Amino acid sequence: MNLAAAPSVEARIAAGAHGFSYRSGVLAAEEVPLAEIAAAVATPLYCYATAGLLGQYQALRDAFAGRAVQICYALKANDNLAVVRTFAAAGAGADIVSVGELHRALAAGVPPGRIVFSGVGKTTAEMATALAAGIHQFNVESLPELETLAAVAGAAGTRAPVVIRINPDVDAGTHDKIATGRKQDKFGVDWTAAPAIFARAAALASIDLVGIAVHIGSQLTSLAPYTAAFGRVAEMVRTLRGQGIRIDRLDLGGGLGVRYSDETPLAPAAYARLIAATVGELGCALTIEPGRFLVANSGVLLTRVILVKESAGRRFVIVDAGMNDLIRPALYGAHHTILPVVAPRQDAVWTPADVVGPVCESGDIFARDRPLPPVAADDLLVLLSAGAYSSVMASRYNSRPPAPDVQVHGRAFAVTRRRLSHAEMLAAETLPPWLGPESRP
């Protein structure tokens, strides 16, 4: 495969990255060459472009111009404090799924009144903490959860603001592991049985039932699943109101897909028009919960080539990032475009390579048979579209410190989540008395 017959590296960046571009033949985040960041921080590392983050947020905001819609950023996509603060400062709320994310959202400056608490397994301690914080609403996903929350709120002498998440049994047509709106998925209340649960919620003195929630999955690139799901939400609103149950809010979840390889993402304007057409005339306050859409293409994983190994006719490009840093390819078979930081010569011949990490697992593969130009030890590569479900899912497997996070703003950059030293990783553990005194460097 010759570069002349394929999209240029510049075209690939323009198609799948926000805030990144080649400047004088070297890839930069906004105005900072990635090689400069690598020299200062060391690889592997995650890098986020503020301009890309805010550009995506503004595109969504503009799509709903003239309509009151609260955008609550889904922290599960990327919970870095600087990323969350970037959106909070622009006016976003937060969609959280744990008390840990609640603490992060508050620490990042998200007002409690703009926080929604989703998730199927909230503990009583988490409920009590969120109630005391004064969050906007709980997205309740089952009758047992509703009864537990009612007891917690009653014991605290308060009322919990609740929307009940329905499961509309709609196949989002996305990856099986990120689909959430089918009847076999663990999320939400079966929409056919939901009216009885809404009636129960309305009867509980410590529950302030205010609306309906729905979320059918992530990485959606078609309007059809949204049309089906939102249609069922509208039907449910009318049914419940006919029974005298007040419904003032709709939380429509998130799920907007992004480009990883050759996908055609939904235009925010088309998504906004669909919402207006399906539920816009119901007189409800609207909330949406984007995550991936806001951050995925505004982040990259920067890694350095350790060595190139030729074996049995295969070219293995072994890099210093591993599946402990980015598990998506191993977990989902996810595609991440891989490009050199220094643009190759126009006449460079691109040949297949397996890009792999140093982790002791055969699954530690970022790409198989991926066309790449000639690369050598110490060269820098980037994996694009690494802003979502990447750093946030990192582990310490093989006792490897997870890659740090760096955020860029114009010509400035800062480490926003530092790399732990091996001593710091060891300091979190203790030996039991029967194994004798500890011995550490």
CA dist 1 and 371 (Å) reads 7
> Is residue 109 in some structural domain?
no
> Is residue 272 in some structural domain?
yes
Task: Report DSSP letters for 61-80, one per residue.
Answer: HHHTTTS-EEEEEEGGG---
Q: How confident is the model at residue 5 (pLDDT cuts 50, 70, 90)?
A: very low
- Across the range 266-272, mean pLDDT stands at 95
For the record, the structure tokens of 243 come out as: 């029974």
Does residue 322 contact residue 274 with C-beta atoms inside 8 Å? Answer: no
End of a domain among 245, 265, 288?
288
Among candidate residues 248, 228, 227, the one with its CA nearest the CA of residue 237: 248
Split into its structural domains, the chain has a count of 2
- Across the range 162-189, mean pLDDT stands at 66
> Is residue 61 in some structural domain?
no
Active site residues: 360
CA dist 69 and 261 (Å) reads 30
> Is residue 88 in some structural domain?
no
Four-CA torsion 402, 406, 407, 411, nearest 10 degrees:
-170
For residue 229, the domain's CATH number is 3.20.20.10
pLDDT at 16 over 90: no
Entry pTM: 0.93
Say if residue 329 is in the same domain as residue 417.
Answer: yes
pLDDT at 346 over 70: yes
Say if residue 249 is in the same domain as residue 318.
Answer: no
pLDDT at 319 over 50: yes
Q: Please provide the average confidence, as pLDDT, over all residues in the chain.
A: 92
- Across the range 133-156, mean pLDDT stands at 96
Say if residue 200 is in the same domain as residue 267.
Answer: yes
Please indicate whether residue 209 or residue 191 has the higher confidence score (pLDDT). 209
Per DSSP, 249 falls in state: E
Instruction: Convert 77-112 to b/e letters by CB count within 10 Å (16 or more is b).
Output: bbbbbbbbbbbbeeebbbbbbbbebbebbbebebeb
- Across the range 111-131, mean pLDDT stands at 96
Do β-strands 338-340 and 380-383 pair in parallel, antiparallel, or remain unpaired?
Answer: antiparallel
**Residue bearing tokens 């472009």:** 49
> Is residue 57 in some structural domain?
no
pLDDT of residue 43: 98
Say if residue 309 is in the same domain as residue 231.
Answer: no
End of a domain among 288, 307, 323?
288
> Is residue 54 in some structural domain?
no
CA dist 68 and 72 (Å) reads 13
> Is residue 300 in some structural domain?
yes
For residue 405, the domain's CATH number is 2.40.37.10
Say if residue 282 is in the same domain as residue 305.
Answer: no
Whole domain around residue 14: which residue ranges? Answer: 3-49+296-426
Say if residue 230 is in the same domain as residue 378.
Answer: no
Q: Which residues, in sequence order, are bridge partners of residue 167?
A: 190
Lowest mean pLDDT across 94-108, 219-233, 307-321, 366-380: 219-233
Does residue 394 contact residue 321 with C-beta atoms inside 8 Å? Answer: no
The predicted-structure confidence for 54-113, as pLDDT tens digits, reads as follows 999 999 999 999 898 999 999 999 999 999 999 999 999 999 999 999 999 999 999 999
> Is residue 284 in some structural domain?
yes
CA dist 83 and 193 (Å) reads 39
Say if residue 272 is in the same domain as residue 168.
Answer: yes
CA dist 121 and 132 (Å) reads 19
pLDDT at 162 over 70: yes
**Residue bearing tokens 């990120």:** 178
